């Protein structure tokens, strides 16, 4: 074995970098090993066409935990967050649009054009989500309790949460208990009467999920969003320079704290000696020793591919194999010579309305039908699209006048019933652009370059098992004390000295930095 480290982190995704920065700040000799040529994992910026750069995968920040931003001094390390004035604009195929603004009063006057009922209900809904979010927010930075034998500390933390819950009052407390298991379509129907607003809000419940709005438990995602941002429709905050600039800032914070980062070094295996993690073996054959190994790779990759199965109890392995991680989201990125004209915005290029998320999927039934295709092994011909045009607010991404458009497409199943993603990639890209052209008729003539990333690519190129953008479904049975598995939600694994720190751990996916921060806290307790 070569040089000895305290900690090796497998993977330089944003959570791996957050963990590295905290661990190095605590004085641990930390090494990050990233298999790709750049850091960031799903939070990266790459060239799309000469002069055009795009957040290749994730396009808006989680939001990032404020504590991480502060502790790691990310602003000093060059991070610049940009919050658009509009949260989201939903486009109707018949040429109407509604926008949800950061400013509630503006949203209300917008909704008055749509429905007096919804305009009156929206501020009430927002206030309720804020109150529930305040109760749930402490969960984000809490290590989930061990279910079998909770420690005194864990019981104390849960007790504090219980008190906050009681403080909610009866009406909100019942809402909180009732909403989690509900289908998000039912939840929005209780609040709003217009289909387009229902669909816009409900879409946050199915984002990245293998689920339609009528699937049970899809309201949970709305509650997590409330915990993170205090809103049901959180801000589509972008990073100047794209999401890769966040990874750069985190990398600088980690290196300043003393961590070492190496790229283009895939880890082939985790070395186990006497039942304890002892280091890693690289694909090159090089071995590196460490007192602890922390994996930022997803749970299935870490536990099924990087560790020899003989080290685990068969029951545990069966549970890991049952951990659901089948993706349903694909990405299409476009380099455009100009901003397209949207029919729903009266053919104008309404800068402000296009500055947040642009939502396509105007009815609950539309979203459900989009999911139907994926259930039966095909991509949806009329998918739900979550679009951003970050170059509207960040001129570093495209030459003057040009734009980059980042499109999350649901649904696109990991496995196609007919053919494969290799042969059907461009046909899929065409279907997305055809649909979008119905809303922005001049889109195709403005397109200079197109990048299509399928769930299969997410697995092969970006290392996401099953192509799942969140390292595994975020359903109730795979959240909090069940993430990734019941009994193993404390960032530890059955192997002493082997930890998980990625989106497959609590509180899950999204560019938040929370799993990395929480994991580092637990690791430091053990390495004292």
Binder among 139, 206, 511, 523 for ligand FAD (CB under 6 A): 511
Q: Tell me whether residue 62 or residue 402 sits nearer to ligand FAD (CB atom).
A: 62
Q: Tell me whether residue 84 or residue 463 sits nearer to ligand FAD (CB atom).
A: 463
Q: Tell me whether residue 218 or residue 225 sits nearer to ligand FAD (CB atom).
A: 225
97-101 sheet: strands from edge to edge: 97-101, 86-91, 357-360, 384-388, 403-410, 329-336, 447-453
DSSP summary character for residue 13: B
Least Cβ distance, residue 47 to ligand FAD (angstroms): 17
For residues 474 and 224, the answer to whether their CB atoms sit within 8 Å is: yes
Verify binding: residue 297, ligand FAD, rule CB under 6 A.
yes
What lies within 8 Å, CB to CB, of 286 at 6+ separation is: 2
Least Cβ distance, residue 225 to ligand FAD (angstroms): 10
> Among the candidate windows 10-18, 71-79, 442-450, 484-492, which touches ligand FAD by CB under 6 A?
10-18
Binder among 5, 7, 8, 16 for ligand FAD (CB under 6 A): 16
Binder among 339, 469, 489, 519 for ligand FAD (CB under 6 A): 469
DSSP summary character for residue 111: H
- Which positions from 109 through 168 interact with ligand FAD, judged by CB under 6 A? none
Least Cβ distance, residue 257 to ligand FAD (angstroms): 18
Verify binding: residue 424, ligand FAD, rule CB under 6 A.
no
For residues 29 and 5, the answer to whether their CB atoms sit within 8 Å is: yes
Interaction mask 442-461, ligand FAD, x per CB under 6 A: ----------------x---
Binder among 45, 220, 301, 380 for ligand FAD (CB under 6 A): 301
Least Cβ distance, residue 164 to ligand FAD (angstroms): 25
Verify binding: residue 432, ligand FAD, rule CB under 6 A.
no
| DSSP string for residues in 175-212 | HHHHHTTS-HHHHHHHH---HHHHHHHHHHHHTTSS--
Both tokens of residue 369? 């039908």
What lies within 8 Å, CB to CB, of 452 at 6+ separation is: 330, 331, 332, 425, 426, 428, 429, 432
- Which positions from 491 through 510 interact with ligand FAD, judged by CB under 6 A? 502-503, 509-510
> Among the candidate windows 6-14, 143-151, 156-164, 489-497, which touches ligand FAD by CB under 6 A?
6-14
Verify binding: residue 235, ligand FAD, rule CB under 6 A.
no
> Among the candidate windows 54-62, 105-113, 309-317, 361-369, which touches ligand FAD by CB under 6 A?
54-62
Binder among 34, 118, 368, 459 for ligand FAD (CB under 6 A): 34
Closest CA to 10 of 499, 402, 396: 499
For residues 179 and 173, the answer to whether their CB atoms sit within 8 Å is: no
- Residue carrying the six token digits 């109407």: 96
For residues 367 and 212, the answer to whether their CB atoms sit within 8 Å is: yes
- With H, G, I as helix, E, B as strand and everything else as coil, classify residue 17: helix
- Which positions from 342 through 371 interact with ligand FAD, judged by CB under 6 A? none
> Among the candidate windows 14-22, 154-162, 256-264, 431-439, which touches ligand FAD by CB under 6 A?
14-22
Contacts of range 414-421, beta carbons closer than 8 Å, 24 or more positions apart:
414/326, 414/327, 414/328, 414/455, 414/456, 414/459, 414/466, 414/467, 414/468, 415/326, 415/377, 416/377, 416/378, 416/379, 417/376, 417/377, 417/378, 418/377, 418/378, 420/456, 421/454, 421/455, 421/456, 421/457
CB atoms within 10 A of CB 432: 24
- Classify residue 445 by burial, with Cβ atoms within 10 Å: 0-12, 13-18, 19+: exposed
Verify binding: residue 35, ligand FAD, rule CB under 6 A.
yes
Q: Report residue 249 CA to chain centroid gap.
A: 19
What lies within 8 Å, CB to CB, of 392 at 6+ separation is: 84, 339, 351, 354, 355, 403
Alpha-carbon gap, residue 464 to 341, rounded angstroms: 35
Least Cβ distance, residue 429 to ligand FAD (angstroms): 14
Verify binding: residue 229, ligand FAD, rule CB under 6 A.
no
For residues 175 and 128, the answer to whether their CB atoms sit within 8 Å is: yes
Q: Tell me whether residue 59 or residue 492 sits nearer to ligand FAD (CB atom).
A: 59
Closest CA to 411 of 354, 360, 373: 373
Least Cβ distance, residue 115 to ligand FAD (angstroms): 29
Q: Tell me whether residue 247 or residue 343 sits nearer to ligand FAD (CB atom).
A: 247
Binder among 5, 7, 8, 14 for ligand FAD (CB under 6 A): 14
Least Cβ distance, residue 11 to ligand FAD (angstroms): 2
Verify binding: residue 465, ligand FAD, rule CB under 6 A.
no
In total, the chain counts a number of residues equal to: 528
Interaction mask 404-423, ligand FAD, x per CB under 6 A: ----x---------------
Verify binding: residue 259, ligand FAD, rule CB under 6 A.
no
Q: Tell me whether residue 128 or residue 397 sits nearer to ligand FAD (CB atom).
A: 397
Q: Which spans of this chain sit near ligand FAD (rule: CB under 6 A)? A: 10-16, 33-36, 41-43, 57-62, 266-267, 296-297, 301, 329, 331, 408, 458, 463-464, 469-471, 502-503, 509-511, 515
């Amino acid at each position: 074995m070569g040089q000895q480290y305290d900690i090796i982190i497998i993977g330089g995704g944003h959570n791996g970098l957050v963990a590295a920065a905290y661990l190095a700040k605590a004085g641990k000799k930390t090494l990050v090993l990233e298999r790709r040529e750049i850091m960031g994992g799903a939070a990266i910026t790459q060239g799309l066409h000469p002069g055009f750069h795009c957040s290749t995968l994730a396009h808006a920040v989680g939001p990032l935990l404020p504590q991480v931003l502060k502790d790691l001094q990310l602003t000093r390390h060059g991070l610049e967050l940009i919050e658009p004035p509009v949260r989201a604009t939903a486009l109707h195929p018949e040429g109407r649009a509604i926008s949800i603004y950061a400013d509630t009063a503006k949203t209300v006057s917008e909704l008055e054009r749509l429905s007096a009922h919804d305009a009156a209900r929206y501020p009430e809904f927002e206030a309720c989500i804020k109150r529930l979010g305040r109760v749930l927010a402490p969960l984000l930075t809490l290590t989930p309790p061990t279910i079998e034998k909770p420690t005194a500390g864990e019981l104390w933390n849960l007790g504090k949460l219980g008190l906050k819950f009681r403080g909610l009052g009866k009406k909100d407390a019942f809402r909180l208990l009732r909403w989690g298991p509900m289908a998000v379509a039912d939840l929005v129907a209780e609040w709003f009467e217009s289909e387009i607003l229902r669909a816009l809000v409900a879409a946050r419940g199915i984002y990245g999920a293998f689920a339609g709005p009528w699937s049970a438990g899809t309201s949970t995602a709305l509650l997590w969003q409330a915990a993170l941002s205090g809103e049901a429709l959180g801000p589509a905050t972008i990073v100047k320079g794209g999401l890769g600039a966040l990874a750069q800032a985190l990398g600088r914070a980690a290196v300043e704290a003393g961590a070492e980062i190496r790229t283009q070094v895939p880890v082939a295996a985790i070395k186990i000696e006497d039942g304890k993690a002892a280091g890693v073996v690289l694909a090159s054959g090089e071995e590196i020793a460490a007192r602890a190994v922390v994996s930022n790779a997803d749970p299935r990759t870490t536990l099924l591919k990087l560790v020899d199965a003989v080290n685990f109890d068969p029951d545990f392995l069966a549970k890991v194999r049952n951990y659901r991680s089948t993706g349903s989201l694909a990405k299409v990125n476009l380099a455009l010579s100009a901003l397209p004209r949207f029919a729903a915005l009266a053919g104008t290029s309404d800068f402000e309305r296009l500055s947040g998320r642009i939502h396509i999927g105007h009815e609950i039934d539309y979203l459900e039908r989009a999911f139907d295709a994926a259930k039966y092994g095909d991509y949806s011909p009329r998918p739900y699209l979550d679009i951003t045009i970050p170059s509207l607010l960040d001129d570093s991404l495209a030459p003057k006048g040009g734009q980059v458009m980042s499109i999350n497409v649901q649904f696109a199943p990991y496995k196609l019933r007919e053919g494969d993603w290799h042969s059907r990639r461009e046909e899929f890209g065409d279907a997305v652009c055809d649909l979008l052209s119905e809303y922005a008729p001049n889109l195709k003539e403005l397109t200079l370059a197109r990048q299509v990333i399928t769930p299969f690519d997410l697995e092969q190129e970006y290392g996401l098992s099953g192509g799942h953008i969140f390292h595994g479904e975020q359903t109730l049975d795979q959240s909090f004390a069940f993430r990734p598995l019941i009994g193993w939600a404390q960032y530890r694994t059955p192997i002493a000295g082997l930890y998980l720190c990625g989106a497959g751990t609590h509180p899950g996916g999204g560019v938040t930095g929370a799993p990395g921060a929480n994991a580092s806290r637990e690791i430091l307790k053990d390495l004292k």
